[in-house]
Amino acid sequence: MPDQLEALVARLRELATLDEDTGRRRLPPERVLGESLGMSRGALREQLAVLERLGFIDRTQGRGTYLATPSYDFVRTYFRISRDLGYLTDAEFSESRLLLEEALSEAAARRATPEQVAQLRADVDRMVASQESGDFDDAREADIAFHWRLQHIVDNPVLRFLHEGLSHVLRDDIAARRQEVAEGTREHDDRTDSVHYEIVDAIAAGDPVGARLAMRRHFGGVALGMRAG
């Protein structure tokens, strides 16, 4: 199936034409596609349905079929179901997230502009202030915003794809930990939030190694918090 899909996509790219009104690559009608590809309409529809579920084509009745940029829904669903079925473990997801965040912080130290550094620092200010005031939901959202902004500074589509999938799987865990703090069943280590300042300082200084190590300290605190529970 993968080889068949890859071969089909290569042919679809050749047969697609640019729609001047939308700037998108439009595919011919199914009948024309089937004749060009030497496929029955049933077999073609089956393959197109798979590509549509993966987000690589967009079919709208009355408007036609277009090649599309996939959303993050596929990787989010794939990772979540893989975890639910026990094929991938929480420990594996957590380790992968750590390795990815370390790489992102290192790259951001080479690329971030002063304005982007200021935005990162504002996210941490909000995170710490919200946690101290007891607004744990806002602290969580600020935490998510910080890491989202970091991967947008790096702006690598492959890393962003992985980041979205991993963040989706671990988002509930982050929320659960902060909720336990709110309910008094878990002690919050303030260093988990404030160490973000060390990450920002290293990025501002253009220190890739320091940024990576600060990120590792941050996730080390998170891991300790998880084990303590």
Q: What is the DSSP string of the chain?
A: -HHHHHHHHHHHHHH-EE-TTT--EEEPPHHHHHHHHT--HHHHHHHHHHHHHHTSEEEETTTEEEE----THHHHHHHHHHHHTTSS-HHHHHHHHHHHHHHHHHHHHHH--HHHHHHHHHHHHHHHHHHHHT-HHHHHHHHHHHHHHHHHHHT-HHHHHHHHHHHHHHHHHHHHHHHHHHHTSS---THHHHHHHHHHHHHHTT-HHHHHHHHHHHHHHHHHHHHH-
Pairing of strands 64-67, 25-27: antiparallel
Average pLDDT over residues 39-68: 89
Domain stop point among 52, 67, 82? 67
Q: In this predicted structure, what is the pLDDT of residue 228?
A: 35
Number of domains comprising the chain:
2
In the chain, the percentage of residues whose pLDDT exceeds 90 is 56
Q: In this predicted structure, what is the pLDDT of residue 190?
A: 52
Q: In this predicted structure, what is the pLDDT of residue 196?
A: 93
Q: In this predicted structure, what is the pLDDT of residue 177?
A: 59
Q: Are residues 170 and 104 both part of a single domain?
A: yes
Residue 168 belongs to domain with CATH number:
1.20.120.530
The CA angle 188-194-196, to the nearest 5 degrees, is 120
Domain stop point among 67, 82, 108? 67
Highest mean pLDDT out of 8-22, 60-74, 162-176: 8-22
Q: In this predicted structure, what is the pLDDT of residue 187?
A: 52
- Residue 221 binned pLDDT confidence (cut-offs 50, 70, 90): low
pTM of the predicted protein model? 0.78
The least confident of 6-10, 13-17, 136-140, 201-205 is: 136-140
Average pLDDT over residues 36-64: 89
What is the chain's mean pLDDT, rounded? Answer: 86
Structural contact between residues 26 and 12, judged by C-beta atoms closer than 8 angstroms: no
The domain containing residue 29 runs over which residues?
2-67
Tell me: the pLDDT tens digits for 118-156?
999 999 999 999 988 888 889 888 988 999 999 999 999
Q: Are residues 60 and 97 both part of a single domain?
A: no
Residue 60 belongs to domain with CATH number:
1.10.10.10
- Residue 60 binned pLDDT confidence (cut-offs 50, 70, 90): confident
CB atoms within 10 A of CB 200: 26
Q: Are residues 112 and 152 both part of a single domain?
A: yes
Residue 62 predicted with pLDDT over 80: no
Q: Are residues 12 and 118 both part of a single domain?
A: no
Pairing of strands 64-67, 57-60: antiparallel
Residue 229 predicted with pLDDT over 50: no
Domain stop point among 14, 40, 67? 67
Q: Are residues 47 and 9 both part of a single domain?
A: yes
Q: Are residues 23 and 124 both part of a single domain?
A: no
Q: In this predicted structure, what is the pLDDT of residue 225?
A: 40
Q: Are residues 52 and 112 both part of a single domain?
A: no
Length of the chain: 229
Q: In this predicted structure, what is the pLDDT of residue 69?
A: 87
Tell me: the pLDDT tens digits for 70-118?
888 889 999 999 999 999 998 899 899 999 999 999 999 999 999 999 9
Residue 181 predicted with pLDDT over 70: no
